[in-house]
């Protein structure tokens, strides 16, 4: 049994640097950083100055793979490159952990998942919010039937305020060619993943967006989406990068009560008997089921990125179940793709979406983008920023 996993990182922008330092400083048991890859000489110089001579540096993924100095790769590049680099890594027999989102369009990610399925390698995604004990408790309550059948969910996540100077800091930012989307692709992948993790996937989506509504950018900075589920439940997702102060409030209602998550609290309004039972049995005219408000105790540490990294290594070494399997990255992305397609076509979008139509519409946006991804250096020079 291998006792140490040799890790290579592709892309050492903001997130890549944090991952590199965490592994280098011994914060991830069973992991050793042996290689870093980045196209940008300035990023490689940062690695020379901050990581040490025992970590080999490469200017291309192919060079790093050919050197045979790693067992696993962490991909922390801009969004478009996640699937293609992961596919390369799987074909080299490497374990893979990708930063979020899984990609820009589901057709691309589906190909990545198909390649992963043909290997016995461990494939994870950096959905670090799944380590948050508040969200894990919510997932446990829903899966355990405490809320009964789900009726409604509302997530207002507008605590992403970004001034224009943030978008002006890099030519790739907030462009169809550079990021492939705005707030949904850059800030919201965690929330979209959690939303489907709690409530499942809807059957159809209707979304309204402002593209450059409050900023001088190409992509969406304001979104309101409405979804419907097979059982008749509905959901609303509201997000923006121009609201300040912003809000992060998730409310989920079921047959047995309501849960609100806000400011690291989980409040549960629990019905003594299910609403459907009360509706059938009560004969007094006006009335409601007895309801108890409980603040649910939250136990556990929010390990965030380190938790996902450690879990990935443990899955490689000990076959520990993954908290965030890489194959599940397509689900939250399918929600954002559906929202974009709905806004572009000004119509409802059924899930699973028409992937060819989405790709066609995205290519139209890319053609008019101010950022041209054909410049190869730019594909790895800024990584995983939020």
Q: Tell me: domain 132-300+331-378, CATH 3.30.360.10, correct?
A: yes
Distance CA 266, CA 354 (A): 37
As to burial, measured by CB atoms within 10 angstroms (0-12 exposed, 13-18 middle, 19+ buried), residue 301 is exposed
pLDDT recorded at residue 377? 34
Identify the pLDDT of residue 1: 53
- The residue ranges of every structural domain in the chain are 5-129+304-325, 132-300+331-378
- CATH architecture of residue range(s) 5-129+304-325: 3-Layer(aba) Sandwich (3.40)
User: What is the pLDDT at residue 373?
Assistant: 60
What is the pLDDT at residue 183?
98
HEC sequence for 190-250: HHHHHHHHHHCCCCEEEEEEEECCCCCCCCEEEEEEEEECCCCCEEEEEEECCCCCCCEEE
The pLDDT of residue 63 is 98
CA quadruple 52, 53, 59, 65: dihedral positive or negative? negative
Q: Spell out the per-residue pLDDT of the chain, length 386, in tens.
A: 569 999 999 999 989 999 999 999 999 999 999 999 999 999 999 999 999 899 999 999 999 999 999 999 999 999 999 999 999 999 999 999 999 999 999 999 999 999 999 999 999 999 999 999 999 999 999 999 999 999 999 999 999 999 999 999 888 899 999 999 999 999 999 999 999 999 999 999 999 999 999 999 999 999 999 999 999 999 999 999 999 999 999 999 999 999 999 999 999 999 999 999 999 999 999 999 999 999 999 999 999 999 999 999 999 999 999 999 999 999 999 999 999 999 999 999 999 999 999 999 999 999 999 998 643 333 333 333 44
Model pLDDT, residue 386: 43
Q: Residue 2: its pLDDT value, please?
A: 62
Same fold across 5-129+304-325 and 132-300+331-378: no
The predicted pLDDT at position 361 comes to: 98
Give the pLDDT score at 170.
Answer: 82
């Amino acid at each position: 049994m291998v006792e140490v996993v040799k890790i290579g990182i592709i892309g050492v922008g903001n997130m890549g640097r944090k991952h590199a330092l965490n592994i280098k400083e011994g914060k991830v048991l069973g992991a050793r950083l042996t290689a870093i890859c980045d196209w940008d000489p300035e990023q490689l110089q940062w690695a020379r100055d901050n990581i040490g001579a025992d970590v080999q540096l490469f200017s291309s993924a192919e060079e790093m793979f050919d050197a045979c100095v790693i067992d696993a790769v962490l991909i922390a590049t801009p969004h478009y490159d996640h699937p293609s680099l992961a596919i390369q890594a799987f074909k080299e027999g490497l374990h893979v952990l990708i930063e979020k989102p899984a990609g820009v369009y589901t057709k691309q990610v589906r190909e990545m998942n198909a390649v992963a399925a043909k290997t016995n390698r461990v494939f994870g995604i950096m959905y670090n919010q799944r380590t948050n004990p508040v969200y894990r408790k919510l997932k446990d309550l829903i899966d355990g039937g405490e809320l009964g059948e789900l009726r409604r969910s509302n997530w207002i996540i507008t605590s992403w305020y970004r001034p224009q100077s943030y978008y002006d800091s890099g030519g790739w930012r907030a462009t169809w060619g550079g990021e492939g989307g705005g707030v949904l692709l850059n800030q919201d992948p965690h929330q979209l993943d959690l939303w489907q993790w709690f409530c499942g996937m809807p059957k159809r989506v209707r979304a309204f967006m402002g593209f450059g509504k409050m900023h001088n950018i190409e992509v969406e900075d304001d979104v309101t989406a409405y979804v419907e589920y097979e059982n008749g439940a509905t959901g609303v997702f509201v997000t923006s990068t121009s609201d300040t102060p912003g809000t992060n409030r998730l409310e989920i209602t079921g047959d047995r009560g309501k849960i609100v998550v806000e400011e690291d609290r989980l409040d549960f309004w629990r019905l003594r008997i299910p609403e459907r039972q009360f509706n059938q049995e009560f004969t007094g005219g006006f009335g409601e089921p007895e309801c108890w408000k409980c603040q649910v105790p939250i136990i556990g540490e929010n390990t965030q990125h380190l938790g996902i990294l450690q879990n990935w290594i443990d899955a490689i070494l000990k076959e520990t179940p993954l908290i965030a399997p890489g194959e599940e990255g397509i689900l939250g992305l399918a929600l954002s793709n559906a929202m974009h397609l709905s806004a572009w076509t000004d119509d409802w979008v059924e899930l699973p979406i028409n992937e060819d139509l989405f790709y066609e519409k995205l290519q139209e946006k890319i053609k008019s983008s101010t950022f041209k991804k054909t410049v190869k250096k730019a594909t790895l020079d800024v990584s995983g920023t939020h």
